[in-house]
């Protein structure tokens, strides 16, 4: 019964909320044309208004717990019988001109899977673990606290940074469907900036410097014609809305208020996780309500999923309290046996995940075909 109920709900909400929320700097808002970004915003808005949440998974169809590179595979598909409604991809490496990203996903394979996910009704989102433009070290090498300052003050570094953005923008702008129309996607740049583990973190740059990083990224993306983007702002754990918005770049630069909160410590960490979700996703929800934005649980998960009932007893109750359009769990590494965030057939949380899939509040790819 799940599919027809969700189909009717989404169709009704799509008709009722055709105005929807605006898209930051969407030029099509003044015309009769609905841009790919605007269309995606309307779809997410319909899901949120219906009290539903799309499930997402990082790198879902390109590798899994014990496999890599196969076609037509997915740990989520093989466990629940459907693809995730949202697939997250990482652009890390595109800024160097590499053929594959930091997790060895070939960018042409990524492009093909983005097109396939769009064709099946699903949504595509991008994170970006970019190397820094000063010395090319990866995102996690954050001892140098001058990188963002150098992007602003050093002309050579600034130009290298602009070239990095251009390469990413051209890839995103080139994502088109079979008819040649651009595919609307979500981009979540410079994420988890409230932490200090990336070169753009809270101890690596000031709030003003971070805002410059974001607005300059947006300016260059726009110049390169990457107008098919919804922009997601995603702090890691925060105490309150003031901390959540401390580095916010401005309403004209953001479409989605996100939250990145991981669960640590299995059973012993449940209360801490739920409190962090309430604080951070709660702040995102408050900010979104005040600013007319969408809400999403942009990154979460319990590594190794050592709790058999995690999906139904922890994640679903946590996210269902908020109008999040989607929730994304991280990747299932093929080369690190304990580094996975979605189950596969035989994994101890399989039964809970199937119940999570069957719950009328969750949306997977099949249901998304009902709203375009």
115's tokens: 């097109």
pTM: 0.95
Q: What is the pLDDT of residues 5-61, one digit of tens each?
A: 566 566 665 555 555 666 775 554 434 479 999 999 999 999 999 999 999 999 999
CA distances from 356 to 7, 122, 139, 165, 202 (A): 18, 18, 33, 38, 35
Distance, in Å, from the CA atom of 27 to the CA atom of 41, rounded to the nearest integer, reads 14
Identify the pLDDT of residue 18: 54
Identify the pLDDT of residue 113: 99
In the chain, what are the domain boundaries? Answer: 2-368
CA distances from 129 to 32, 93, 187 (A): 36, 8, 12
Identify the pLDDT of residue 62: 99
What is the average per-residue pLDDT within 221-234?
Answer: 99
Distance, in Å, from the CA atom of 185 to the CA atom of 40, rounded to the nearest integer, reads 7
Identify the pLDDT of residue 33: 77
> If you average pLDDT over every residue of the chain, what do you get?
95
CA distances from 110 to 14, 94, 104, 233, 234 (A): 29, 12, 10, 23, 23
Identify the pLDDT of residue 29: 45
CA distances from 67 to 59, 73, 276 (A): 12, 9, 33
Identify the pLDDT of residue 322: 99
310's tokens: 């995690």
Identify the pLDDT of residue 369: 86
- Quickly list DSSP for 91-160: -TTGGGT-SB-TTS-BHHHHHHHHHHHHHTT-EEEEE--PPPTTT---TT----TTHHHHHHH-HHHHHH
The residue among 53, 24, 26 whose CA lies nearest residue 291 is 24
Q: What is the pLDDT of residues 299-314, one digit of tens each?
A: 999 999 999 999 999 9
Asked if 204 contacts 142 with a C-beta cutoff of 8 angstroms, the reply is yes
Residue 220: how many CA atoms within 13 Å on its side-chain side?
19
Instruction: Report how far Cα 229 is from the mean position of its chain's Cα atoms.
Output: 12
Instruction: Give the other-Cβ count within 10 Å of 3's Cβ.
Output: 14
Q: Which residues contact 285 (CB under 8 A, 6 or more apart)?
A: 257, 295, 322, 323, 324
Asked if 218 contacts 210 with a C-beta cutoff of 8 angstroms, the reply is no
284-288: long-range contacts at Cβ-Cβ below 8 A with a sequence spacing of 24 or more? 284/244, 284/257, 284/258, 284/259, 284/322, 285/257, 285/322, 285/323, 285/324, 286/241, 287/241, 287/244, 287/245, 287/248, 287/257, 288/257, 288/323
Q: What is the pLDDT of residues 50-90, one digit of tens each?
A: 999 999 999 999 999 999 999 999 999 999 999 999 999 99
pLDDT of 103 strictly over 60: yes
Distance, in Å, from the CA atom of 250 to the CA atom of 104, rounded to the nearest integer, reads 34
pLDDT of 321 strictly over 70: yes
* CATH 3.40.47.10 is held by the domain 2-368: no
Q: Which residues contact 231 (CB under 8 A, 6 or more apart)?
A: 24, 186, 187, 188, 189, 218, 253, 254, 255, 256
Which region holds residue 59: left if phi is over 0, alpha if psi is between -120 and 50, else beta?
left
Asked if 246 contacts 201 with a C-beta cutoff of 8 angstroms, the reply is no
């Amino acid at each position: 019964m799940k599919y027809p109920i969700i189909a009717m709900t989404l169709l009704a909400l799509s008709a009722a909320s055709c105005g929807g929320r605006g898209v930051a700097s969407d030029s099509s808002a003044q015309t009769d044309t609905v841009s790919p970004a605007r269309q995606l915003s309307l779809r997410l808005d319909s899901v949120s208004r219906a009290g539903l949440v799309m499930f997402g998974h990082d790198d879902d169809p390109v590798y899994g717990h014990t496999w890599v590179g196969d076609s037509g595979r997915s740990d989520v598909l093989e466990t629940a019988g459907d693809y995730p409604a949202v697939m997250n991809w990482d652009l890390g490496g595109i800024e160097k001109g590499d053929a594959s990203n930091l997790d060895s996903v070939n960018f042409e394979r990524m492009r093909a899977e983005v097109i396939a996910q769009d064709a099946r009704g699903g949504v595509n989102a991008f994170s970006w673990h970019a190397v820094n433009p000063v010395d090319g070290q990866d995102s996690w090498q954050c001892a140098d606290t001058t990188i963002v300052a150098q992007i602003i003050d050093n002309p050579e570094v600034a130009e290298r940074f602009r070239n990095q953005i251009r390469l990413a923008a051209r890839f995103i702008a080139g994502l088109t469907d079979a008819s040649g129309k651009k595919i609307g996607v979500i981009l979540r740049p410079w994420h988890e900036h409230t932490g200090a583990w990336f070169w753009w973190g809270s101890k690596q740059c000031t709030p003003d410097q971070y805002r410059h990083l974001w607005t300059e990224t947006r300016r260059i993306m726009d110049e390169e014609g990457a107008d098919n983007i919804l922009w997601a702002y995603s702090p890691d754990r925060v105490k309150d809305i003031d901390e959540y918005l401390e580095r916010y770049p401005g309403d004209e630069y953001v479409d989605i208020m996100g939250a990145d909160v991981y669960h640590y410590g299995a059973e012993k960490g449940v209360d801490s996780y739920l409190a962090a979700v309430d604080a951070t996703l709660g702040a995102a929800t408050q900010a979104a309500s005040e600013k007319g934005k969408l809400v999403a649980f942009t990154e979460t998960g319990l590594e190794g999923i050592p709790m058999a009932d995690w999906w139904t007893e922890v994640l679903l109750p946590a996210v269902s309290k908020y109008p999040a359009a989607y929730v994304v769990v991280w990747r299932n590494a093929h080369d690190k046996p304990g580094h996975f965030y979605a189950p596969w057939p035989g994994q101890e949380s399989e039964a809970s995940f199937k119940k999570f899939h069957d719950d009328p509040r969750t949306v997977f790819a099949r249901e998304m075909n009902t709203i375009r």
